[in-house]
Amino acid sequence: MTTARRTQKQRRAEAETALLTAAAELVDEQGVHALTLAGVGERAGYSRGLVTHYFGSKQALVERLARSAQAGFVPGLDGLPPGLDRLLRLIDGYIGELGRMGVLNRVFLKLWTEAATAEELTSLFRQRNEAFHADLYEDLAAGIADGTMRPDVAPDETATAIIAQLRGIGMQRLVDPERVDTEQLRTHITGLWRRALEEAHPSAASVRSS
């Protein structure tokens, strides 16, 4: 019985995964400023030359790491039409994922924080914020259009506020994880946004009195 040889594509994918994992661990332990291509190669069991060959530079490696850390952060949203339901599921799922706070979650939050002062990260995270904002804006605009959200909701400002709240909860979870009960918080925050956004329907009492 023989074992099928791995293809070059499979070997490259495995090596890239190992290198990204090593980079994530080092950023989590030491921060992005201490990250070096040599250190990543050593942690992953490869040479610095291979890291350079696959990623080209530290900047490119960090950008790839940031994208990998945020990709698919909230599962179960694919295929859902934009609107109130998808927005509330995103908020609930985001806070739920913060409760699991794995290495990649911590790394994304740490990189996002460092983007405020590290020029090499600022542009990348501005793009990530713009993409997140656009997704939320789409849900808000759709909810207003289909009548499930109040017509006076301001999509642009509301999307900014939601991002700030979710990232703020993430930072609190990062700094003081025992203080933030994400299971209770996700229900509370989702309920707050539902009440703030949902279109009010006439109560039975008001209908009877009219």
Reported as a single tens digit per residue, the pLDDT across 88-140 is 999 999 999 888 888 888 888 888 888 888 777 888 888 888 989 999 999 99
What CATH number has the domain bearing residue 20? 1.10.10.60
Average pLDDT over residues 30-52: 90
The conformation of residue 202, written as its DSSP 8-state character, comes to -
What's the token pair of residue 188? 């509370």
What CATH number has the domain bearing residue 93? 1.10.357.10
Q: Do 189 and 156 share a structural domain?
A: yes
Residue 205's pLDDT is: 37
CB burial class (10 A; 0-12, 13-18, 19+) of residue 171? middle
Q: How many folded domains does the chain comprise?
A: 2
Residue 121 belongs to domain spanning: 72-202
pLDDT tens digits along 143-192? 999 999 999 999 999 999 999 999 999 999 988 988 999 999 999 999 99
- Rounded CA-CA distance 105/6 in Å is 31
Q: Do 52 and 77 share a structural domain?
A: no
Q: Say which residues have a Cβ less than 8 Å from residue 57's Cβ, sequence separation at least 6.
A: 37
Q: Which residues pair with 198 in a beta bridge?
A: 149
pLDDT tens digits along 43-87? 999 988 899 999 999 889 988 888 887 665 777 788 899 999 999
pTM (predicted TM-score): 0.79
